Chain A
Amino acid sequence: MEHIRTTKVEQVKLLDRFSTSNKSLTGTLYLTATHLLFIDSHQKETWILHHHIASVEKLALTTSGCPLVIQCKNFRTVHFIVPRERDCHDIYNSLLQLSKQAKYEDLYAFSYNPKQNDSERLQGWQLIDLAEEYKRMGVPNSHWQLSDANRDYKAAICRCSQPLSGFSARCLEDEHLLQAISKANPVNRYMYVMDTRPKLNAMANRAAGKGYENEDNYSNIRFQFVGIENIHVMRSSLQKLLEVNGTKGLSVNDFYSGLESSGWLRHIKAVMDAAIFLAKAITVENASVLVHCSDGWDRTSQVCSLGSLLLDSYYRTIKGFMVLIEKDWISFGHKFSERCGHLDGDPKEVSPVFTQFLECVWHLTEQFPQAFEFSEAFLLQIHEHIHSCQFGNFLGNCQKEREELKLKEKTYSLWPFLLEDQKKYLNPLYSSKSHRFTVLEPNTISFNFKFWRNMYHQFDRTLHPRQSVFNIIMNMNEQNEQLEKDIKDLESKIKQRKNKQTDGILTKELLHSVHPESPTLKTSLCFKEQTLLPVNDALRTIEGSSLADNRYSEYAEEFSKSEPAVVSLEYGVARMTC
């Protein structure tokens, strides 16, 4: 590539971001067409995709070399010290070029090749089908043409952009459409119109010939402002938050005052409150709701998608969440390329709107640990790829642009890759039964909003808990499944040979034959005992195929009680061993 002048620099130091004593690792820096790669002396590799780079900064020369600070969109920050200034300058310039492409065609997605053939790729793109989704929701029906989202045929969430009303203008057709939406709800004769902007902003817009609906002109509407700030406020809020968190030797008080002055959690709470208002209007009052902001693709998308998530448990599954993103974000024209700064464009159009949505979802998963099929890792992975430009899904700013780019022919869809790996993203505490039909009612009292460390410090391993309960439960579940399978295998073997000798002796023989080869028995003593005993037990109690599922779900059930994972497993083990 023409931008790369130096491909390899040795003796580069990678500084520990938080260390006050300038702890560092020494290694070699490589520059490829798509990635920046650092391999340290322990052969640990750090890969940084060029598209993830938000900013590159060259600091003043020091005695040990030339410092290069790279901030990434996935909140990784790396601080290199390159021994020679010339190398540093070359890398700096290359990265500046590589991280800000001018044309869509230069993005990674157009060169990324995961070794699939065309039909596989096409299948990938067809994985999420919105027409199918509307069918699932039950539209079109006698009240609705295929135009927007609906929920249990009664109340509906609708979305649009602000009316161009100015101070006095009105539009009869618009009034009629709203009337029609309102009538489409057979239960309730009024509807809500939610303007997600602060009232002041909406009033200011009137001066520019835009504005908001006048309650007098529209019959049967109830108007509501919910005060979510605009993209510019959000951008600088995140900027402040990251500045605070990047401080070395941060004190607790500075952290909290920084968190407060950034306003980040306040904005998150505002989005959440709006979604809750929406969900309540629909479930409690059975009223349809029309949501809009200025353009109808940022705040509106946040509120509609979160509202749907609260109302419909389907969206809380892995597949459903993909559908939700396709529906409320991609197809309704959230300007991903501009908001994520995929191309070298107007920095004022960049804003963490989608990141905020993911954070709201994370807060919900924290409050309802069993309601979501996916875990935090899924959210982080999606966040990674809205910026990576590795897949075609998030390229472009609207559906029209995407069709013009021929994304479906030239790039791959992210969703099939996530689905293939879905094991990594499963939430072990998920209980599909107990939450299937319930509407989530989160509590938005302030102390329920916490700083999302695993997002904003996802690469700062030293700040994370050292052991993960999720992984352990996941492994245990896997082991259990494997053990159940072993039991079944043994059982069938016993049946095959049942005309020989007595069962007891056979069991023992079989056990000996299975033990060494079973891969799951390596961990702890209790698991070894487990395999021993249920085998004998199996002859009496295990009939048919349902047991594996039962025990699996028993665990999940137990976790649902107020102290997750506490006594239950102990009982599970005890029961199995005695």
Chain B
Amino acid sequence: MEFAELIKTPRVDNVVLHRPFYPAVEGTLCLTGHHLILSSRQDNTEELWLLHSNIDAIDKRFVGSLGTIIIKCKDFRIIQLDIPGMEECLNIASSIEALSTLDSITLMYPFFYRPMFEVIEDGWHSFLPEQEFELYSSATSEWRLSYVNKEFAVCPSYPPIVTVPKSIDDEALRKVATFRHGGRFPVLSYYHKKNGMVIMRSGQPLTGTNGRRCKEDEKLINATLRAGKRGYIIDTRSLNVAQQARAKGGGFEQEAHYPQWRRIHKSIERYHILQESLIKLVEACNDQTHNMDRWLSKLEASNWLTHIKEILTAACLAAQCIDREGASILIHGTEGTDSTLQVTSLAQIILEPRSRTIRGFEALIEREWLQAGHPFQQRCAQSAYCNTKQKWEAPVFLLFLDCVWQILRQFPCSFEFNENFLIMLFEHAYASQFGTFLGNNESERCKLKLQQKTMSLWSWVNQPGELSKFTNPLFEANNLVIWPSVAPQSLPLWEGI
């Protein structure tokens, strides 16, 4: 097996482990293909099992022959290992480094993990698009399931099955796909049963500098409007950014061609700006000097809570359009795979009681994040400690979870799940034994044969024994729309993370 080549020293005795908030533990360190294990070999003490894929960065230091490896994890933990012997220490460090940066997805732990529990319900089939569609097909007949993307030919980042207006045929969809970034033609994201209004999402229209238009695109989104009604297009970029995008072939919907739609720009930051924000935030949290002014200015400089506020505000606006104005909306940014999904999914948390239950929230993540093609593999490759900056990494999903936590804090009895559930999702998005968050979209997951070769996270979470850890005992189903406050005084920092 290839892992053996990477492991230069499989075992070292007398290693001391230091973790914050725990007493130091001395024991034996073992390296396996996917784990770093430290065991004190006594019955009563727990062992440390750390997935290599959870390792974000490592530092090594030497004092005499005693080596120290500091491991910084993607879930923000920092642990320290004191290893006697310079050679062992170097070997261990380079082995960890190699094992934590494996290139090939198929070498990742989910492909080797064999569950120790009995699978009662296969999570891969828990949230099929057909079942989700049935939930609102009883209320409306204006929508249909389209199999146009069956071979992932029309849009590589969409799932094979999407929901579109009934009056639009597959041929038109193909045409619209060529007019939208990444082939992401407008699809249904959420149907508000109360008044029949909908949230749709898409990629930016490819108008370019010469103002290209697409009749089918106009027809598609107009098909969702009732007679005489207007809709809103929420662009998650500022007007400036949207205008600049035209130079690269992108753009936004021109009023002249979409007279029934009002466009609103609600800027949400993306990519490296978010990543830098996270790096600064974590650095501020790890600062051990007890200096109040420094902490506050660092917290401010990280801009993390500003991003939270921006996202929540955009989501509240979307929800307001639907519930209060009685207007349908289309949401997009550039690709429609990041800020767009934050807004569509948070708006659903606000509007839809079902998405505040455990299963409903799982379905939401499955629908609005996994199937909608949020590139988890790219976005979650590295976390806050990594120095090698790649422009694809961004804590988009973490920001979403943080926003959910903010709403949960304001409505502690309206959610069936608790904070631990959100933290668990965060951890598994970055490093997991399950295949759920592998790959960037359904097409990649299909090629990797994840359904056959790996276990779904939902198979594990939805066991009664596990569920009880994530259940909020104060939950009392609240069928109302919940309106969170977005004032800075109402948005504290999430300590759990």
Contact = CB atoms under 8 A, between A and B. Distances in A.
Interface of A: 18, 245, 250-257, 259-260, 263, 265-266, 269, 273, 444-447, 449-451, 453, 456-457, 462-469, 472-473, 524, 563, 565-570, 573
Interface stretch (B113-121, B150-158, B303-311, B369-377): B303-311
Contacts of A251: 306, 309, 488
B487 A566 contact: no
B487 A462 contact: yes
Contacts of B291: 446
B468 A464 contact: no
A567 B471 contact: yes
A466 B476 CA distance: 14
Chain B CB within 10 Å — which of A251, A255, A468 has the most? A255
A247 to B, nearest CB: 10
Contacts of B146: none
Given A251-B488, A252-B491, A260-B297, A465 B412 contact: yes
Contacts of B167: none
B489 A566 contact: no
B420 to A, nearest CB: 7
Contacts of B487: 18, 250, 462-463
B488 A457 contact: no
Contacts of B284: 447
B489 A463 contact: yes
B290 interface: yes
A446 B300 contact: no
A359 to B, nearest CB: 14
Given A447-B495, A469-B413, 15 more contacts: A245-B489, A252-B305, A252-B488, A260-B297, A269-B290, A447-B285, A453-B489, A463-B490, A464-B485, A468-B412, A563-B420, A565-B474, A566-B418, A566-B472, A566-B473
Given A252-B305, A465-B412, A469-B413, A446 B488 contact: no
Interface string B406-426: 000111111000111000000
B306 A252 contact: yes
Interface in B265-286: 284-285
A445 B21 CA distance: 14
Interface residues of B, number: 46
A467 B411 contact: yes
26 contacts: A250-B488, A252-B300, A252-B308, A254-B488, A260-B300, A266-B293, A444-B290, A445-B288, A446-B296, A447-B299, A447-B495, A457-B489, A462-B485, A463-B487, A463-B489, A465-B412, A466-B411, A466-B482, A467-B414, A468-B412, A469-B413, A565-B474, A566-B418, A568-B473, A570-B471, A573-B473
Contacts of A449: 292
Contacts of A524: 476
Given A257-B300, A462-B485, A467-B411, A567 B490 contact: no
Nearest to B412: A469
A103 to B, nearest CB: 39
A446 B419 CA distance: 23
A453 B468 contact: no
Given A463-B489, A463-B490, A566-B420, A260 B293 contact: yes
B401 to A, nearest CB: 17
B23 interface: no
B228 interface: no
Nearest to A567: B468
A-B pairs with lowest CB-CB distance, top 4: A446-B295, A569-B473, A256-B300, A255-B488
A392 B493 CA distance: 41
B262 interface: no
A462 B294 CA distance: 30
Main secondary structure, interface of A, reads: helix
A82 B295 CA distance: 44
Nearest to B304: A252
Contacts of B484: 466
A470 to B, nearest CB: 10
A563 B293 CA distance: 30
B490 A265 contact: no
A449 B291 CA distance: 11
B407 to A, nearest CB: 10
A466 B410 contact: yes
Contacts of A573: 473
Contacts of B488: 250-252, 254-256
B212 interface: no
Contacts of A260: 292-293, 296-297, 300
B418 A453 contact: no
Nearest to B306: A252
B267 to A, nearest CB: 13
Contact of A467 (B292, B306, B413, B468): B413
A473 B410 CA distance: 16
Nearest to A569: B473
Nearest to A473: B474
B77 interface: no
Contacts of A570: 468, 471, 473
Contact of A445 (B290, B420, B482, B491): B290
Nearest to A465: B410
B296 A259 contact: yes
Nearest to A270: B292
Chain B CB within 10 Å — which of A253, A263, A456 has the most? A253
Interface in B438-497: 468-469, 471-474, 476, 482, 484-485, 487-493, 495
Contacts of A453: 489-490
B476 to A, nearest CB: 7
Chain B CB within 10 Å — which of A252, A260, A456, A567 has the most? A252
B25 to A, nearest CB: 20
Given A466-B411, A472-B413, A565-B474, A265 B489 contact: no
A570 to B, nearest CB: 5
Contacts of B485: 462-464
Nearest to A264: B292
Nearest to A468: B412
Chain B CB within 10 Å — which of A451, A463, A464, A524 has the most? A463
B153 to A, nearest CB: 44
Contacts of A563: 418-420
Nearest to B488: A255
B319 to A, nearest CB: 15
Contacts of A451: 489, 492
